[in-house]
A and B are shown apart, each in its own frame.
Chain A
Amino acid sequence: METAALIVILVIVLALFFDFTNGFHDTANAMATPIATGALKPKVAVLLAAGLNLVGAFLSTEVSKTISHGIIREDQISPPEFLPLIFAGLIGAITWNMLTWLLGLPSSSSHALFGGLIGATLVGVGALAIDFGIVLSKVVLPALVAPFTAGVIAFATTKVAYAITRRYDGKPDGRDGFRWGQIFSSSLVALAHGTNDAQKTMGVITLALIMAGWQSSEQADPHIWVIFACAFTIALGTYMGGWRIIRTLGKGLTDVKPAQGFSAEASTASTILASSVFGFALSTTQVASGSVIGSGLGRRGSKVRWRTVGRIGVGWLLTLPAAGAVGAFAALIVAWLGTWGILIDTVLSVLVVVGLFLRSRRNRVDSANAMSEVAASGRAVKVKKNPPPTRRQREIMREEARAKRAAEKQAKHDAEKAKQAAKKAKHEAEKAQKDAKKSKPGAGKSAKKSGDGKGKKGKSKKKNKGSSAGKDAR
Chain B
Amino acid sequence: MTIEIDWFAFFEVFLAALVGAVLVVGFYALALRMLVRAGRAPVVAPAEFTDAITVVTEKQRAKAAKAAAKAAKKSPLTDGQKRLALAAAFASFGLCGLAVLASILIIVLH
Does B48 contact A266, Cβ atoms closer than 8 Å?
no
Residues of A255-292 contacting chain B, CB below 8 A: 255-259, 262-263, 266-267, 269-271, 273-280, 282
Residues of B57-110 contacting chain A, CB below 8 A: 57, 64, 67-68, 71, 96, 100, 103-104, 106-108, 110
Does A267 contact B21, Cβ atoms closer than 8 Å?
yes
Does A372 contact B18, Cβ atoms closer than 8 Å?
no
Determine the chain B residues whose CB is within 8 A of the CB of A176 once the complex forms.
42-45, 64
Determine the chain A residues whose CB is within 8 A of the CB of B55 once the complex forms.
383
Using known A-B contacts A44-B47, A195-B107, A372-B51, determine if residue A177 contacts B12 with beta carbons closer than 8 Å: no
Alpha-carbon distance between A40 and B45 when the two chains are bound, in angstroms: 10
Determine the chain A residues whose CB is within 8 A of the CB of B107 once the complex forms.
56, 59-60, 191-192, 195, 273, 276
Q: Which stretch (A165-173, A414-422, A461-469) binds chain B?
A: A165-173
Instruction: Write the B13-47 contact mask toward A (1 if CB under 8 angstroms, else 0).
Output: 11011101110111011111101100001111111
Interface contacts (Cβ under 8 Å), in number, total 226
Using known A-B contacts A131-B2, A177-B35, determine if residue A250 contacts B52 with beta carbons closer than 8 Å: yes
Does A270 contact B52, Cβ atoms closer than 8 Å?
no
Determine the chain B residues whose CB is within 8 A of the CB of A447 once the complex forms.
none
Q: How far is the CB of B26 from chain A (nearest CB, A)?
A: 5
Q: Which B residue's beta carbon lies closest to that of A132?
A: B1
Alpha-carbon distance between A188 and B108 when the two chains are bound, in angstroms: 12
Does A174 contact B33, Cβ atoms closer than 8 Å?
yes
- Is A160 part of the binding interface, using a Cβ–Cβ cutoff of 8 Å? yes
Using known A-B contacts A35-B50, A156-B18, A380-B53, determine if residue A133 contacts B36 with beta carbons closer than 8 Å: no
Please report the total number of B residues contacting A with Cβ < 8 Å.
Answer: 57
- Is A181 part of the binding interface, using a Cβ–Cβ cutoff of 8 Å? yes
Residues of B1-16 contacting chain A, CB below 8 A: 1-6, 9-10, 12-14, 16
Determine the chain A residues whose CB is within 8 A of the CB of B33 once the complex forms.
164-165, 174
- Is A455 part of the binding interface, using a Cβ–Cβ cutoff of 8 Å? no
Does A279 contact B9, Cβ atoms closer than 8 Å?
yes
Does B50 contact A172, Cβ atoms closer than 8 Å?
no
* Residue among A131, A188, A271, A380 making CB contact with B51, cutoff 8 Å: A380
Residues of A112-143 contacting chain B, CB below 8 A: 131-134, 136-137, 141
- Is A41 part of the binding interface, using a Cβ–Cβ cutoff of 8 Å? yes
Determine the chain B residues whose CB is within 8 A of the CB of A275 once the complex forms.
13, 17
Does B3 contact A270, Cβ atoms closer than 8 Å?
no
* Residue among A141, A154, A164, A255 making CB contact with B29, cutoff 8 Å: A164
Determine the chain B residues whose CB is within 8 A of the CB of A258 once the complex forms.
44
Does B52 contact A255, Cβ atoms closer than 8 Å?
yes
Using known A-B contacts A153-B18, A274-B20, determine if residue A42 contacts B103 with beta carbons closer than 8 Å: no
* Residue among B17, B42, B44, B53 making CB contact with A274, cutoff 8 Å: B17
Does B32 contact A178, Cβ atoms closer than 8 Å?
yes
Please report the total number of A residues contacting B with Cβ < 8 Å.
Answer: 82
Residues of A152-207 contacting chain B, CB below 8 A: 152-154, 156-157, 160-161, 164-165, 167, 171-181, 184-185, 188, 191-192, 195
Q: Which B residue's beta carbon lies closest to that of A373?
A: B51
* Residue among B21, B30, B51, B56 making CB contact with A266, cutoff 8 Å: B21
Determine the chain B residues whose CB is within 8 A of the CB of A41 once the complex forms.
47-48
* Residue among A134, A270, A373 making CB contact with B20, cutoff 8 Å: A270
Q: How far is the CB of B68 from chain A (nearest CB, A)?
A: 4
Determine the chain B residues whose CB is within 8 A of the CB of A136 once the complex forms.
3, 5
Determine the chain A residues whose CB is within 8 A of the CB of B16 once the complex forms.
270, 274, 277-278
Using known A-B contacts A133-B2, A133-B3, determine if residue A42 contacts B52 with beta carbons closer than 8 Å: no
Q: Which B residue's beta carbon lies closest to that of A161?
A: B29
Determine the chain A residues whose CB is within 8 A of the CB of B20 once the complex forms.
270, 273-274
Does B21 contact A38, Cβ atoms closer than 8 Å?
no
Determine the chain B residues whose CB is within 8 A of the CB of A326 once the complex forms.
none
Q: Which B residue's beta carbon lies closest to that of A369?
A: B51
* Residue among B32, B68, B100 making CB contact with A165, cutoff 8 Å: B32
Determine the chain A residues whose CB is within 8 A of the CB of B1 once the complex forms.
131-133
Using known A-B contacts A38-B53, A383-B54, determine if residue A280 contacts B48 with beta carbons closer than 8 Å: no
Determine the chain A residues whose CB is within 8 A of the CB of B17 once the complex forms.
149-150, 153, 267, 270-271, 273-275
Does B13 contact A371, Cβ atoms closer than 8 Å?
no
Determine the chain B residues whose CB is within 8 A of the CB of A263 once the complex forms.
21, 25
Using known A-B contacts A176-B44, A384-B54, determine if residue A188 contacts B32 with beta carbons closer than 8 Å: no
Does B5 contact A38, Cβ atoms closer than 8 Å?
no
Does B56 contact A160, Cβ atoms closer than 8 Å?
no
Using known A-B contacts A188-B100, A262-B28, A274-B16, determine if residue A251 contacts B46 with beta carbons closer than 8 Å: no
Determine the chain A residues whose CB is within 8 A of the CB of B47 once the complex forms.
38-41, 44
Q: Which B residue's beta carbon lies closest to that of A380?
A: B56
Alpha-carbon distance between A264 and B10 when the two chains are bound, in angstroms: 20
Complex A-B: 11 CB contacts under 8 Å? A37-B52, A38-B53, A41-B47, A59-B108, A161-B25, A164-B32, A171-B67, A172-B43, A173-B41, A255-B54, A266-B21
Q: Residues of B with Cβ closer than 8 Å to A?
A: 1-6, 9-10, 12-14, 16-18, 20-22, 24-26, 28-33, 35-36, 41-57, 64, 67-68, 71, 96, 100, 103-104, 106-108, 110
Q: What are the nearest 3 A-B pairs in CB distance?
A: A38-B46, A177-B42, A164-B29
What would 14 more interface pairs be, CB under 8 Å, given A41-B47, A176-B43, A280-B6?
A: A133-B3, A153-B18, A160-B26, A172-B43, A176-B42, A192-B103, A250-B50, A266-B21, A274-B13, A274-B17, A280-B13, A372-B50, A375-B51, A382-B53
